[in-house]
C-alpha cells in the first residue's frame, strides 16, 4: 500500500532529511510544504504556503485529501520564547483545521520537539533527560502544540507521536539550527586566515558530555515510529547512540579536514564572524563555490549557544530502543561525512 506523506517545514534541516529518506522508499509519495518556494524534484509535490494565513491553508485543501501521514517540523522564531507560543500554535492549528476534515485516510501525525522540553536552553538540567520528566515552567510552544494535537486526536482513527532529538546535524541552506554549516564555514574561514582550528566556545563547553543526531537517522526514526502501532501517542528521545566530548572530537575533525588544532578561543561568533562577508566572497571565488549569500549560511548565535553551553546535554534513548528502533550512527563518522558532503556540493572548499 502506498502512503502519502506531508512534510511541513520542508526547507529546514529536519524537513530536508525527511524528504530525502521518504523519497528513497518505494512505497511513499511525498508532498513538501514550506513558506519559501521549494526546488522541484522527481516524485515530489510542492506547496508554498504561509501557515499563519488561515485562508491560504483552507485554499490548499485539495492538496491534502489523500495525505496519510503528516510530519510537522515547522518552526517560526521570535525574539523571546513567550512570543513564539502564539504563532507556532496557530500554524499547527491552521494546518490541521484545513487538513483533518478533508483527509479521510489520515493515519498519523508526527510532531517535532527537542530538548528544550527539558529546559536544556535555560541552563543545567536533569540528565539524562527522560520522556517522563516534568514540564518546565517557562513558556514553550511545544506544550500547547502537543496538547492541541492530543485533544484533536481523541476519538479519531489517527494517532500521533512526538520526537525529541538532541542537537540535529545536517545541511539545509537558511536554517537557523544548522551546526554542520557553522562548523564548515568557520573552519574554512579559519584556514583562509592561516589559523588552526580553535574551538570557538568556553572551556566548560569543550569538556562537557554531549550527544548528536544525524538528520538521516532522525528521519528513519520518525518514519519508523509513524508506522508502528505500538508507538501511537508516545514521546521519544532520539540521538545517534553515543556520547562525546568536544575535547576528544575536535582533534579528530581537524585531522579529517587537514587542519591543526589550536587552543580554545572563548569568543562569540556573532561578533567574530560579523565582518567576514567580504572574506567569504573571496573564498567562494577562489575555490569556485556556490555563490550562496553569506548571511544565509549560518546563524552564528545558534552556534554560540551550542559551543558555549557549559553543562552536560544528555537524553536517555532507552524508550526508543525498547520499542524496537535500534539503528545507531557513529558521531565522528557523521561529522566527517557531512563536511565531505558539503565539499562535494561546493558549499565549502
Give the tens place of pLDDT for each residue, 231-257: 999 999 999 999 999 999 999 999 999
Position 320 in a domain? no
Residue 37: pLDDT above 90? no
Give the tens place of pLDDT for each residue, 103-133: 999 999 999 999 999 999 999 999 999 999 9
pTM of the model: 0.95
| Strands 209-210 and 44-48, bridge-based pairing | unpaired
Q: How confident is the model at residue 64 (pLDDT cuts 50, 70, 90)?
A: very high
Domain boundary residue among 238, 255, 275?
Answer: 238
- Domain CATH number, residue 84: 3.40.50.720
Query: In total, how many domains does the chain have?
Result: 2
For the chain, what is the mean pLDDT?
Answer: 95
The secondary structure element, H or E, covering residue 11 is: none
E-strand ranges in the chain read 3-8, 28-34, 44-48, 69-72, 108-112, 159-165, 168-169, 209-210, 213-214, 234-238, 244-245
Do 189 and 265 reside in the same domain of the chain? yes
DSSP of 21-65: HHHTSTTEEEEEEESS-----TTEEEEE--TT-HHHHHHTGGGTT
- For the segment 295-299, the average pLDDT, to the nearest whole number, is 88
Do 51 and 110 reside in the same domain of the chain? yes
Q: Cell 513567550 belongs to which residue?
A: 82
Do 337 and 202 reside in the same domain of the chain? yes
Dig out the grid coordinates for 258 from the structure. 587537514
- Please tell me the distance from the alpha carbon of residue 315 to that of residue 64, in angstroms, as a whole number: 35
Domain housing 30: 3-168+213-238
Residue 176: predicted pLDDT: 57
Residue 177: predicted pLDDT: 66
Residue 174: pLDDT above 80? no
Amino acid at each position: 500500500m502506498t502512503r502519502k506523506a506531508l512534510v511541513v517545514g520542508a526547507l529546514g534541516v529536519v524537513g530536508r532529511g525527511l524528504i530525502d529518506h521518504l523519497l528513497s522508499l518505494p512505497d511513499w509519495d511525498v508532498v513538501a510544504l514550506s513558506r519559501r518556494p521549494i526546488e522541484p524534484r522527481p516524485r515530489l509535490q510542492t506547496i508554498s504556503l504561509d501557515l499563519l494565513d488561515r485562508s491560504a491553508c483552507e485554499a490548499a485543501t485539495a492538496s491534502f485529501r489523500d495525505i496519510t501521514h503528516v510530519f510537522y517540523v515547522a518552526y517560526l522564531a521570535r525574539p523571546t520564547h513567550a512570543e513564539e507560543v502564539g504563532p507556532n500554535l496557530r500554524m499547527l492549528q491552521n494546518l490541521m483545521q484545513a487538513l483533518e476534515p478533508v483527509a479521510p485516510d489520515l493515519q498519523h501525525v508526527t510532531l517535532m520537539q527537542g530538548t528544550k522540553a527539558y529546559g536544556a536552553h535555560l541552563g543545567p538540567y536533569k540528565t539524562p533527560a527522560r520522556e517522563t520528566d516534568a514540564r518546565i515552567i517557562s513558556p514553550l510552544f511545544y506544550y500547547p502544540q502537543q496538547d492541541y494535537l492530543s485533544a484533536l486526536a481523541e476519538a479519531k482513527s489517527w494517532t500521533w507521536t512526538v520526537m525529541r532529538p538532541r542537537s540535529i546535524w545536517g545541511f539545509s541552506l537558511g536554517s537557523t539550527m544548522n551546526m554542520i554549516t557553522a562548523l564548515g564555514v568557520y573552519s574554512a574561514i579559519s584556514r583562509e586566515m592561516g589559523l588552526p582550528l580553535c574551538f570557538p566556545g568556553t572551556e566548560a563547553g569543550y569538556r562537557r558530555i554531549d550527544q548528536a543526531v544525524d538528520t538521516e537517522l532522525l528521519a528513519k526514526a520518525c518514519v519508523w515510529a509513524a508506522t508502528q502501532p505500538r508507538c501511537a501517542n508516545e514521546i521519544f528521545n532520539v540521538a545517534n547512540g553515543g556520547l562525546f566530548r568536544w575535547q576528544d572530537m575536535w582533534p579528530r575533525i581537524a585531522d579529517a579536514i587537514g587542519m591543526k588544532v589550536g587552543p580554545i578561543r572563548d569568543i562569540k561568533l556573532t561578533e567574530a564572524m560579523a565582518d567576514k562577508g567580504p572574506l567569504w566572497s573571496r573564498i567562494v571565488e577562489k575555490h569556485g563555490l556556490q555563490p550562496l549569500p553569506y548571511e544565509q549560511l549560518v546563524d552564528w548565535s545558534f552556534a554560540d549557544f551550542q559551543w558555549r553551553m557549559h553543562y552536560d546535554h544528555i537524553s536517555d534513548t532507552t524508550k526508543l530502543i525498547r520499542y524496537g528502533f535500534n539503528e545507531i550512527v557513529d558521531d565522528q563518522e557523521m561529522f566527517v561525512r557531512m563536511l565531505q558532503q558539503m565539499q562535494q556540493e561546493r558549499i565549502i572548499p
